[in-house]
């Protein structure tokens, strides 16, 4: 496992909410055709696929110095599941909660994504996917809203479509 901290990747500045309006030209995800009622199965499938990625031998190698390794992407997905569950819980019980900014690039550096144990990441990613799926099992009103710090507003329905694109797109990023 690498011990030297790799150079930071360029910060992510793209507003990915456009995936709610048109299919992703890279990974092919089409938010408009996704049945949010299948989110629990989709999260299970996604976690299974990440577990397979993390069993591959080259998980710590970056394909280019400015692109995350499969391990770093998996750490990010694990954290996406954790953060989105917190946000989903708030949307279920609060009226129009506002979410603090999450700097994913800062988190990757501070949490040493590059040096984490792939087997541990796989277990924790699975646990967060399962917990998020269980929280989705409690949703009764898909129209409840939440607001991101940059002003983007989501219903639980659009939030779910937006959420699913991220881990699927990153599977595409790592060739899975």
Domains in the chain, CATH or no CATH each:
36-173 (1.20.120.450)
How do strand 145-147 and strand 153-155 relate by DSSP bridges?
A: antiparallel
Residue listed under structure tokens 């501070």: 110
Could you give the CA distance from residue 134 to residue 88 in angstroms, rounded to a whole number?
11
With both helix axes pointing from N to C terminus, report the angle between 39-55 and 70-93 in degrees, rounded to the nearest 10: 160
Query: Where residue 11 falls among pLDDT bands split at 50, 70, 90?
Result: confident
pLDDT of residue 13: 79
pLDDT of residue 15: 86
Could you give the CA distance from residue 166 to residue 111 in angstroms, rounded to a whole number?
20
Beta-strand ranges (E) seen in 42-105 are none
- Phi-psi sector, 5: left (phi>0), alpha (psi -120 to 50), beta: beta
Of 129, 135, 16, 14, the closest CA to residue 82 belongs to 129
Helices and strands (H, E) in the chain, number of each type: 5, 2
CB 137 within 8 A of CB 59: no
What are the pLDDT digits (tens) for 36-59? 999 999 999 999 999 999 999 889
pTM: 0.94
What are the pLDDT digits (tens) for 101-153? 999 999 999 999 999 999 999 999 999 999 999 999 999 999 999 999 999 99
């Amino acid at each position: 496992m690498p011990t030297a901290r790799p150079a930071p990747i360029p910060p992510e500045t793209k507003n990915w909410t456009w995936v709610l309006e048109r299919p992703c030209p890279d990974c092919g995800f089409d938010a408009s055709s996704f049945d949010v009622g299948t989110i629990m199965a989709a999260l299970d499938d996604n976690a299974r696929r990440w577990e397979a990625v993390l069993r591959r031998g080259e998980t710590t190698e970056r394909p280019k110095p400015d692109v995350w390794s499969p391990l770093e992407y998996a750490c990010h997905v694990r954290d996406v599941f954790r953060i989105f569950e917190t946000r989903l819980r708030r949307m279920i019980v609060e009226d129009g909660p506002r979410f603090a900014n999450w700097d994913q690039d800062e988190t990757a550096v501070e949490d040493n994504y590059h040096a984490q144990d792939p087997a541990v990441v796989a277990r924790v990613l699975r646990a967060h996917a399962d917990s998020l799926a269980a929280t989705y099992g409690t949703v009764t009103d898909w129209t409840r809203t939440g607001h991101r710090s940059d002003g983007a507003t989501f219903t639980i329905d659009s939030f779910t479509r937006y959420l699913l694109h991220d881990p699927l797109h990153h599977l595409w990023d790592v060739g899975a």
